[in-house]
Amino acid sequence: MSINNKNILDTLKSQVSTSYRIQHCNDINWDDTTDVAVIGYGAAGACSALEASSLGVKVTVLDRLNGGGASALSGGIIYAGGGTAYQSQAGVEDSVENMMNYLRQEAQGAVSEETLRHFCEQSIPNLAWLEKYGVNFDSTPYSEKTSYPPENYFLYYSGNELASPYRDIATPARRGHRVKGKGFTGRVLFESLNQSAQQQNNIEIKQHCEVTRLILDQQDRLVGIELLQAPDNKIIQAIIRAVNRLANKFAVLEPKAGTLIRKLVHGLRRSGKTKFLRVRKGAILSAGGYIYNRHLVQKLAPSYTPARPLGEDCIGKGISLGVSAGGQVQHMDKVSAWRFFAPPNTMLKGVIVDEKGERICNEDLYGATAADRILESGCKRAYLILDKRMMAEASAETRISKMQLFQWAPARLFLSISSTKATTLNSLARKCRINFPRLQSTIGNYNSDAIAGKDRYHKSTDFVQAIEQSPFYAIDISLQNWRVPCFAITLGGLSVNEQTGAVLDVNGNSISGLFAAGRSAVGICSNSYVSGLSLADCVYSGRRAGHSAALEKSE
């Protein structure tokens, strides 16, 4: 990154009002008091609240929208392994060591070996914990490579398990546990947790409350929160909820429109009152990442600005609040962009090249990993090269397969308005401004390998097929291709103590009474993302923060 860490912290501090310190707690006329405050109510916030409440403390949950966040809009995949009940029922063999061997390649040192092992060891208990709070799973397995399983399938390979070099280090195992339900089941996951939280007498959930400042004492311990609460008027509250639901309908297809609509939500909330919440034990920051904060994306991860934001108005508020209290951050340049071009799986038989005609990676990688490889190569454009036979097979698959709508739509766009056709490789290279001699060499090598039944990039032999039948096609899979939206989430966040979830300051010391979870914090997937890993980390880090905050010494 061209921006240094001090500049990152300064940028984040500018996003919120500076946290302020008080001499004595009675210096403020508190409107309410709680033991644990949870700031941000998605999966991580819900898990934090439920875990803290189980220890008998009073929990107050604050969300500036309706609750649910990016988690409720997600596919509802929990990455779990080590021999879960659902793996066993499906005949999948797995172990903690095998899961670790795989995740070590994905985590890339984002957390310590001890934390990675603990995450894997807690995989089975965390699934059981979710089930206790009404979340249901199923063992019906799906065998083909896919970005998301078809309806009525709930256990699948949700990452790079089948691709090289991952499969060479860890035995492939299905670990994507999709919450049982229809369509995208993130909403089912959140509603199950939300209903359980509402049933707890010691949890109070407050919607449309925006935390504006953290309040610290002279020893830098968090003792309270300043917040802006929307008007109590029932009509205004109903309008806010309805408008926010409408904004979420545009969150995927047209995020700019969703953002514009949501301005009314923020405007109505700002007509409310500033209040002060006394926090006796601790506050947990679980307000998601910052992908909707386009200024921050441009400054911290400029390569990803062409990607569309995915989530619910995730602007980095929790991260910025933590920094305002002296917190440190890591991996703020890490973003996961999801450039899925399969299914249809015939597309995986093609070859990804840059404008120099060089092959970039093995095409059977997880879509976000392939996007990472494209960006790492430094190329301006990336193309998937297919021939006549592959194109016909891919088109046929889109008509008869069990693809979800969100998979079918980009597939059709790739095959139609994002493909360039030519009778020869030379003319195809000329049309796409690809270096022809190098492209010819790349395709020649690929074809030679295919005839020999191998691939020098170690792509699965199921997807190795010579590219030789005219006409030839180049499909633009660049992040900049606006015809087929590429969605993204941010991965970095506040540095935390990996045993407690406490936010760390610039000297590596825990800030008393301040914790972070989910995408507001550094976690398992802060270097690399595969489907289900973020939600699994929300459960793991949320429970950790909730437990620690509940046991924090009262002030």
pLDDT, one tens digit per residue, over 153-163 is: 999 999 999 99
* CA–CA gap between residue 499 and residue 545 (Å, rounded): 9
Range with the largest mean pLDDT of 126-140, 311-325, 473-487: 126-140
Domain boundary among 162, 178, 194: 178
Instruction: Tell me the CA distances in angstroms from 242 to 82, 248, 263, one per residue in order.
Output: 42, 10, 13
pLDDT higher than threshold 80 for residue 273: yes
Measured CA to CA, the distance from residue 47 to residue 203 in angstroms comes to 12
Nearest to 12 by CA among 502, 513, 495: 495
CATH number at residue 431: 3.90.700.10
- The total of other beta-carbon atoms located within 10 Å of residue 508's CB is 9
pLDDT at 448: 97
Residues 273 and 321 in one domain: yes
Structural domains counted in the chain: 3
Q: What is the pLDDT of residue 189?
A: 98
Cα separation values, 349 from 83, 170, 305, 391, Å: 32, 24, 29, 10
Distance CA 551, CA 498 (A): 16
Question: How high does pLDDT run on average in the chain?
Answer: 94
Domain annotation covers residue 483: no
Task: Yes or no: say if 416 and 476 are a contact pair by the CB < 8 Å rule.
Answer: no
Residues 15-45: pLDDT tens digits?
777 777 887 788 899 999 999 999 999 999 9
Residues 221 and 250 in one domain: yes
Quick: pLDDT tens for 75-121: 999 999 999 999 999 999 999 999 999 999 999 999 999 999 999 99
Q: Is residue 154 part of a domain?
A: yes
Q: Are residues 126 and 156 in the same domain?
A: yes
Identify the domain boundary among 178, 197, 212: 178
For residues 531 and 410, membership in a common domain is answered with: no
Q: Does residue 395 surpass a pLDDT of 50?
A: yes
Using the 3D structure, point to which of 178, 212, 243 is the last residue of a domain: 178
CA dihedral 373, 376, 379, 381 (to 10 degrees): 40
The answer on pLDDT for 470 being more than 50 is yes
Percent of the chain with pLDDT over 90: 86
pTM here is 0.95
Q: Are residues 167 and 216 in the same domain?
A: no
Strand order in the sheet with 419-422: 351-354, 382-387, 472-476, 419-422
Cα separation, 434 vs 385, whole angstroms: 11
**Residues 307, 325: one domain?**
yes
d(CA 220, CA 240): 36
pLDDT reported for residue 127: 98
Question: How many C-beta atoms lie closer than 10 Å to residue 14's C-beta?
Answer: 12
Specify if 286 maps to a domain: yes
What's the CA gap between 75 and 534, in Å, rounded?
A: 11
| Residue count (the chain) | 555
**384: in domain:** yes
Residue 484 lies in a domain: no
CATH number of residue 216's parent domain: 3.50.50.60
Residues 327 and 415 in one domain: no
User: What pLDDT band is residue 401 in, cutting at 50, 70 and 90?
Assistant: low
Query: What's the rounded mean pLDDT across residues 524-544?
Result: 97
Domain that holds residue 86: 77-178
C-alpha neighbours within 13 Å on the C-beta side of residue 541: 38
Return phi, psi of residue 117, to 5°.
Answer: -65, -45
pLDDT surpasses 50 at 532: yes
d(CA 336, CA 371): 8
In 307-457, at which residue ranges do the beta strands (DSSP E only) sit?
A: 308-309, 329-330, 335-338, 351-354, 382-387, 419-422
Q: Are 201 and 305 in a shared domain?
A: yes
Residue 531: inside a domain, yes or no?
yes
Q: Is there a single domain that holds both residue 48 and residue 154? A: no
DSSP 124-146: HHHHHHHHHTT------B--S--
Report the distance separating Cα 306 and Cα 540, nearest Å. Answer: 31
Q: Looking at the structure, tell me whether residues 54 and 201 fall in a common domain.
A: yes
Strands (E), 438-492: 472-476, 487-490
Which residues in 58-136 belong to E strands, given as ranges?
A: 59-63, 77-79
Q: Answer yes or no: is 482 within a domain.
A: no
Domain assignment of residue 361, yes or no = yes
pLDDT of residue 1: 40
The amino acid occupying position 544 is R
Q: Are residues 66 and 208 in the same domain?
A: yes
Residue 398: Cβ within 10 Å count: 18
Shared domain for 216 and 351, answered yes or no, is: no
Q: What is the pLDDT of residue 23?
A: 74
